[in-house]
Structure formats: C-alpha cells, structure tokens
DNA sequence: CTGCGAGGCTAAGGCAGACTTATGCTCGAA
DNA sequence: TTCGAGCATAAGTCTGCCTTAGCCTCGCAG
C-alpha cells in the first residue's frame, strides 16, 4: 500500500515500539516472535522512511534519541490504547447476542424460555428479530439464526433442534367434534379449519387422502401461525401446528390434539451460525442452552405424539 | 510475526481505520492506494482475528457496529497521534545537527565561523563534538563528520573542503630568524620547532631533505595542534600547520609564514555524511554553507601560499 | 420496467516485502 | 585471553498481501 497519509510501515513501527519499550532489539524480537535481525532491519527501514534517527547505536546496546523517545512514547500509548479497545470491543460483543428467528418459533417457543437463558447467563443481552426470510449471517447483523429446512447451508453450522411436525390442535370443548370430523375425508369436514392450507394438505396426504380440503372448509385466514393457535384456543376451529412448539399450550390444557397422528415433511428446525464463528464463546453458550431446551421440549411433547407419519410428496 | 501481545495485524487495522473514517471500502481503498477487495479482505481478517464483528454489511454500503465504532474511534486517534509524533520528531531532528570534527579543525577553523551559520539558519541548533578518532556515522550519534583523509569511505558521501597543507608559521618577530633557519637542512635549525614531528619530516622531505629534524630541535611538546599555534603566536617557536585553517591568524598578523612553501600529503579535509542521509534538508544546508566557507577560506589563503609541493612518500 | 453502474464479497494466483540464516563486529565479564 | 551477548548487514527464501476476475444486490436513470 502506498502511504498517502505519510504514516510509515506499520510493521516497522511495531518493531520499533517493542524495542523502545523493552530497551533492546533482542528482547523485542523475543516478544514479537521473530529475530533480532528483523527488528534491526525494521528500525533501519523506519529511520530511512522518516528521515529521523530513532536510536543511537552502541556496542551491545541501543539508546533512544530525543526524537525516538518522542515517537516511542506515542507509539506505546497508541498500541496500548488500540489493544485495550479491541478487548473492550470483544467484551461488548461477547455481552450481547443477536438472533434472527421465524415468527411463530420466536413468539410461541423461544420467547417464553428466554427468561431461563437470561437467568443462567446474566452477562449476555439477547436481541431477537423475527423474520420469515432467511437472513444472511455473513452480513454481520445477526450472530445466529433459527432456520427451518434441510440443515445444509454452505458456510454455516446447523445444529438440529426438533423436526417440523404438523398435528391438528383445538380447544378441549371442540375435541369430540373435531376428532369425528377428522376421521373421514376432507370433504366431510364440518368444523372450521385454521392455519396454512398447504400444511393441512400435507396432513391429509399423510392420512391417505389425495385431495386437499377445499377453501370453503377454512375459517378465519390469519397472517401468522401463532395467531391461528390463539384463535383455536378460543374455540374458533382446528389449527395445524407443531405439538413441540405448542407444547406448553398442550401441557396447560389450552389446546388438545384433535387427532393422535402428526405428519412430517422431512424438514426440521435448526440453530445456524457461521463456521467462522464456531469459536465464539457466547454462541457456544447459546447453542448449548438451546439444544438442552429443545431436547426437553421433544421429550415433553412425546406424550402427545403417536408415531409421526411422513407425508408423501405431493 | 506472532502476536504475543494479542494486537492483530496492523495492516488490517489500518485498512479498517480508513474504512471507518471514510465510511466505505471503496474510499478507503483509494486513500490507501489499493483495491476495495483488499480492504474487504483485511476487515474480514480483523474480524476473524479478534472475534469482533466490526461492520454490518448492506448492499452498496457498510455500517459500523457498536463494537466497530469503539475500535474505530481509538484507531483513528491512535494513527492520528502517531502521524503527528513522527512529524514532531522530524521537526525536532531537523532543528539540530550533530557534528563530529577534529580538534584543531573545530577550534581554529569551524567554531569561529559557526556564528555565521547560526545567523543564517537560526532554526538549526549545532552540536560539535571533537574527536581525533573517526566516529561511526552509522551509529546515529552524529549527523556529519569532518574527516581528514583520502575521501573514499564506504557508505558515506564525502564533500571536499580543502587540501591538507603544512607550512611553517611563526610570530612576526621570529620571521627573519625562522626564515634563515629554514633555508638550510634540518641540522642547521636554530629556532625551536613546535608541532607534530611527522609533519616537519614531511615538510623537509618536500624541500629535498631526506633526514628529519632530530628531537633536540623541538621545543614544547603540546597535545593539540591549536595549542602549538598559540605557543607560536607567543613567540615560543615555529609551528607547522595549515595556512587555510590558520587563515584568520595570518590575516590578523598574529602569525606569518616562516617559509613561502607549503607541503602537502595528498590528503584533504572533507565533510562526510551517510549516503542514506543525502536527502536530509538540514545536512544539505550545512553542506552548502560549509562548502561556501571552505571556498572562501581557500581563496583567502591563496595569498600566503606559493605553489604547494607534494612531499615524496617517506 | 429494464439496463447500467457502484459498492461489497470471495477465490485463486502471483510477487514483493518480511523474515531467516549466516557471518561479522564490538565490548564486557569471567 | 576467551567467550558470550547484542547489534548490523547481505543474500536468499517464502508467505502474506494484493490484484484480478467474477459474482451479488440495489438504486437510479432512461
């Protein structure tokens, strides 16, 4: 690089700074992990580049000149301050984690649990941003992402959380009517369906019914899945969702399975983060905590789930 | 070099600093005389080395993170202070010149003239150290040296001042006696000789006398040549010295030539300085001034000197 | 709405600068 | 007097830095 701002070679300044601070080229070489010849060479380079004599040479030792002492003082201070700023930046960075996650996952599963993470890691502040789009982790805006998919994303490490499952869920008072309705083909449905039509189609295919429910079978059309769940809790119909994600609602009796069988599409929920970040302590802590929570959630949801049936590809 | 003090690559920090200060990689690349790809690469390296995300990436632009802003502030300050310290060091260095010179040259010729240099270059402080030994200019203790010799010193630039001349000099009242004594061979000397015996031997050889004056011909033995001159001025004998160096004494009539002929040994007085320093402004100013003074001194001394005779090699 | 330009990103390859090695110098201490 | 330590330099090696090429996204102008 050309020095447009007339700052000489930084590598040479660093060699000089170490020599000035330690009082000799041999000690500087040892600290920098190089040879005394390299330090000598760099100090000479610096003197040539700047036209300033930095050291008086005597046999066996060197002594800073007045000009050299002036630069040394500033260089020592500058490098010390820089070093300190990197440490403070690392501490700042280590003290907060930025997560991008899917809306329902965030609202219904993650958010209720974050209190526990905060209790166990009070030094780490959490930021969650919900997005239906997969955010670019390379852009640096997020440390980790919760993704739904196959788990094979280049440059990322994906930790499996739990499989994507689709189970009919309704309020307790709708149980009998919904169970009866779902025992037959889609055209026999006489209770309102809630949630994504493609997920219902997937579920019926897993039951052996090729034709999906027609639009007239659906009740309220809501923008987000957790709103579907809220409507179902209110008795407005049967929703289709993950017994793991809604595990706490099932536990509390606010939702019940309207059918014992769940369908799956081969996808799963994953924690993803850049391979380049796998040494990050905070990401490691979050990963370990999240894996633990996911395992507990899978275990707890097992009582609601019979053997999940993988739906044939439409 | 290994980073024993955990400061990451300085080249990368410099790229980062420029990008932070200018708000983009393209502008930073322009200032640093490199490509945006190089800046991007260095910022990534820095992020990997430190584990700190420094920029958020967006299409067409980048934005400092909080941690990045923290480091940027310190880096901008550090580099600015370093730059400033080099400029101040250069100014300090440019404001003083260190000279090593031969004793007599210093005392009798240089010192009386330095007032003129100081008047013409008030911003440059002069330090003269007298030494009979040739000081190592590479050690950085001296900027320039006045040397006597052949002028061919490796790594140094030598500017000729004036030839080394040896002429008998005495007080006016001793003129006739000294002239008569010096007209014949050394054994006929009946006035005390002062100064270095080897210089007298050289002078007599130049006159065609093979045998040097014997020790009994010498008066007071003094340690330094200018003391010999002082003794000669006091009428204690005839000294042997340079009519150029003692030009002002001749001019003032305190010394007169005891013989019209000067001898020379093929050597001269030179201003020497390191080739590596030839761009130094202060050295240039001193060289130009000294050359001018030397030329004036040669010119003024011409009236005292007949055709100098080169003494045959003993 | 389409095309272009600008800024950023990464991979691969080349080379120049950084460093090592070898040798030499000086001086102080044993 | 000898040896070891620190500094200096030259020459050769090699690795880190940079360039080049190609790609991506987005905003703006036509």
Instruction: Determine the Cα–Cα distance for residues A226 and B31; give it in Å rounded to an integer.
Output: 52
| In chain A, beta strands by DSSP E | 55-58, 61-64, 96-101, 125-130, 144-149, 156-170, 239-241, 256-257, 263-274, 309-310
Sign of CA dihedral A187, A191, A197, A198: negative
pLDDT on residue A293: 96
Instruction: Determine the Cα–Cα distance for residues B249 and B254; give it in Å rounded to an integer.
Output: 5
Half-sphere exposure of A13 (CA within 13 A, CB side): 26
How near does any CA of chain B get to the CA of A69, in Å? 9
Instruction: Determine the Cα–Cα distance for residues B15 and A313; give it in Å rounded to an integer.
Output: 52
Nearest-CA neighbor of B276 among B140, B120, B124, B180? B140
Give strand pairing partners of A3. none
* Candidates B10, B89, B139, partner chain A, best to mutate (most A CBs within 10 A): B89
Residue A3 pLDDT > 50: no
Query: Does B92 sit within 8 Å of A67, measured CB to CB?
Result: yes
E strand or H helix at A22, and its extent?
A: helix A10-22
Query: Does A85 sit within 8 Å of B8, measured CB to CB?
Result: no
Q: Find the CB nearest B2 among A33, A83, A280.
A: A33
* Distance from CA(B96) to C1'(C10), angstroms, rounded: 52
Domains A10-94 and A96-314 share a fold: no
* For chain A, domain boundaries: 10-94, 96-314
pLDDT-derived band at A275, boundaries 50, 70, 90: confident
Half-sphere exposure of A206 (CA within 13 A, CB side): 24
* Distance from CA(A82) to C1'(C14), angstroms, rounded: 33
What is the number of other CB atoms lying within 10 angstroms of the CB of residue A296?
12
Which B residues, 61 through 80, put their C-beta within 8 Å of a C-beta on chain A? 65-68, 70-71, 73-75, 77-79
CATH number of B96-314: 3.40.190.290
How near does any CA of chain B get to the CA of A224, in Å? 28
CATH number of A10-94: 1.10.10.10
Residue A308 pLDDT > 80: no
Give strand pairing partners of B272. B145, B158
pLDDT on residue B3: 42
Query: Does A51 sit within 8 Å of B93, measured CB to CB?
Result: yes
Query: Does B84 sit within 8 Å of A74, measured CB to CB?
Result: yes
Cα angle value B38/B44/B46 (rounded, 5°): 105
Nearest CA in chain B to A12: B10
Task: Label each residue of chain B as H, E or C.
Answer: CCCCCCCCCHHHHHHHHHHHHHCCHHHHHHHHCCCHHHHHHHHHHHHHHHCCCCEEEECCEEEECHHHHHHHHHHHHHHHHHHHHHHHHHHHHHCEEEEEECHHHHHHHHHHHHHHHHHHCCCCEEEEEECCCCCCHHHCCCCEEEEEECCCCCCEEEEEEEEEEEEEEECHHHHHHHHHHHCCCHHHCCCCECCCHHHHHHHHHHCCCCCCCCHHHECCCCCCHHHHHHHHHCCCCEEEECCCCCHHHHHHCCCEECCCCCEEEEEEEEEEEEHHHCCCHHHHHHHHHHHHHHHHHHHHHCCCCCCCEECCCC
Task: Label each residue of A248-285 as H, E or C.
Answer: HHHHHCCCEECCCCCEEEEEEEEEEEEHHHCCCHHHHH
Q: Are B12 and B46 in contact (CB under 8 A)?
A: yes
> What confidence tens digit (pLDDT) does each residue in A80-132 have?
999 999 999 988 988 989 999 888 898 889 999 999 999 999 999 998 988 87
How near does any CA of chain A get to the CA of B6, in Å? 7
Residues 6+ away with beta carbon under 8 Å from B148: B102, B105, B164, B267, B268, B269, B270
Nearest-CA neighbor of B81 among A9, A88, A47, A76? A76
Residue numbers 23-62 of A with CB closer than 7 A to any atom of strand D: 24-27, 36-37, 40-41, 43-44, 55, 57, 59-62
CA A257 to each of CA A196, A229, A247, A306, B96: distance values in angstroms, whole numbers, following the listed order = 17, 12, 11, 11, 91
Residue lying closest to nucleotide C6, CA to C1': B60
B84 contacts chain A (CB < 8 A): yes
* Distance from CA(B110) to C1'(C29), angstroms, rounded: 41
Residue B34 CB in 7 A reach of strand D? yes
Query: Does A57 sit within 8 Å of B139, measured CB to CB?
Result: yes
Residue lying closest to nucleotide D25, CA to C1': B59
Q: Are A108 and A227 in contact (CB under 8 A)?
A: no
Query: Does A88 sit within 8 Å of B70, measured CB to CB?
Result: yes
Query: Does B83 sit within 8 Å of A70, measured CB to CB?
Result: no
Q: What does pTM read for this prediction? A: 0.78
Instruction: Determine the Cα–Cα distance for residues A40 and A51; give it in Å rounded to an integer.
Output: 16
> What confidence tens digit (pLDDT) does each residue in A239-260 have?
999 999 999 999 999 999 999 8
Mean pLDDT per 10-residue run, chain B (314 residues)?
A: 61 93 91 91 91 89 92 93 91 90 88 94 91 80 89 86 94 92 85 91 90 85 83 92 93 92 91 86 94 94 78 66
Q: Are A249 and A229 in contact (CB under 8 A)?
A: yes
Q: With contacts defined as CB-CB under 8 Å, which chain B residues touch A81?
A: 74, 77-78
Phi–psi pair at A198, nearest 5 degrees: -70, -30
Q: Are B255 and B175 in contact (CB under 8 A)?
A: no
Nearest CA in chain B to A8: B83
Residue A165 pLDDT > 80: yes
Task: Pick out the nucleotide with least CA–C1' distance to B57.
Answer: C8
Residue A269 CB in 7 A reach of strand D? no
Residue A262 pLDDT > 80: yes
Which B residues, 150 through 209, put their C-beta within 8 Å of a C-beta on chain A? none
Query: Does A11 sit within 8 Å of B50, measured CB to CB?
Result: no
Q: With contacts defined as CB-CB under 8 Å, which chain A residues touch B280?
A: 51
Q: Find the CB nearest A92 among B34, B70, B85.
A: B70
Nearest-CA neighbor of A125 among A112, A133, A110, A114? A114
Instruction: Determine the Cα–Cα distance for residues A198 and A209; give it in Å rounded to an integer.
Output: 14
Q: Which residue has the higher pLDDT, A158 or A311?
A: A158
* Candidates A52, A63, A77, partner chain B, best to mutate (most B CBs within 10 A): A52
Q: Are B98 and B142 in contact (CB under 8 A)?
A: yes
Instruction: Determine the Cα–Cα distance for residues A211 and A191; give it in Å rounded to an integer.
Output: 18
* Distance from CA(B25) to C1'(D22), angstroms, rounded: 19
pLDDT on residue A146: 92
Which A residues, 230 through 289, put their C-beta within 8 Å of a C-beta on chain B? 276-277, 279-280
Give strand pairing partners of A243. none
Instruction: Determine the Cα–Cα distance for residues B310 and B268; give it in Å rounded to an integer.
Output: 12
Task: Label each residue of A90-106 as H, E or C.
Answer: HHHHHCEEEEEECHHHH
Q: Are B104 and B226 in contact (CB under 8 A)?
A: yes
Residue A69 pLDDT > 90: yes
First-last CA distance in chain A: 59
Instruction: Determine the Cα–Cα distance for residues A99 and B99; give it in Å rounded to an integer.
Output: 67
Q: Are B290 and B161 in contact (CB under 8 A)?
A: yes
DSSP letter assigned to residue A218: B
pLDDT on residue A1: 43
Query: Contacts of strand C, CB cut-off 7 Å?
Result: A 9, 11-12, 15, 33-35, 37-38, 41-42, 45, 59-60, 138; B 1, 24-27, 36-37, 40-41, 43-44, 55, 57, 59-62
Q: Are A225 and A196 in contact (CB under 8 A)?
A: yes
pLDDT-wise least confident of A29-33, A138-142, B17-21, B172-176: A138-142
B7 contacts chain A (CB < 8 A): yes
Which B residues, 43 through 62, put their C-beta within 8 Å of a C-beta on chain A? 47-48, 50-58
* Candidates A8, A30, A85, partner chain B, best to mutate (most B CBs within 10 A): A85
């Amino acid at each position: 690089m050309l020095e447009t701002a007339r700052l000489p070679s930084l590598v040479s300044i660093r060699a000089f700074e170490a020599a000035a601070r330690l009082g000799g080229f041999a000690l500087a070489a040892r600290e920098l992990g190089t040879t005394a010849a390299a330090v000598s060479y760099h100090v000479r380079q610096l003197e040539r580049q700047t036209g300033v004599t930095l050291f008086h040479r005597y046999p066996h030792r060197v002594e800073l000149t007045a000009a050299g002492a002036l630069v040394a003082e500033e260089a020592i201070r500058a490098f010390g301050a820089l070093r300190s700023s990197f440490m403070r930046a690392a501490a700042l960075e280590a003290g907060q984690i930025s997560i991008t996650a899917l809306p329902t996952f965030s609202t219904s599963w993650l958010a209720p649990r974050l209190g526990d993470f905060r209790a166990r890691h009070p030094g780490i502040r959490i930021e969650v941003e919900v997005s239906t789009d997969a955010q670019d982790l390379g852009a640096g805006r997020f440390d980790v992402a919760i993704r739904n998919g196959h788990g094979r994303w280049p440059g990322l490490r994906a930790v499996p959380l739990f499989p994507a499952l689709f189970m009919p869920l309704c309020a307790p008072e709708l149980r009998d009517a919904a169970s009866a309705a779902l025992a037959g083909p889609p055209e026999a449905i006489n209770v309102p369906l809630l949630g994504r039509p493609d997920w219902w189609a997937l579920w019926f295919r897993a039951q052996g019914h090729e034709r999906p429910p027609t639009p007239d079978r659906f009740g309220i059309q809501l923008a987000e899945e957790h709103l579907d769940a809220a409507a179902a809790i209110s008795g407005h119909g049967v929703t289709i969702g993950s017994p793991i994600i809604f595990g706490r609602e099932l536990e509390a009796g606010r939702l019940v399975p309207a059918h014992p069988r769940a369908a799956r599409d081969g996808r799963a929920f994953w924690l993803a983060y850049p391979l380049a970040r796998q040494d990050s302590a905070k990401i490691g802590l979050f990963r370990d905590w999240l894996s633990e929570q996911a395992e507990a959630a899978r275990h707890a949801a097992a009582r609601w789930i019979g053997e999940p049936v993988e739906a044939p590809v439409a």
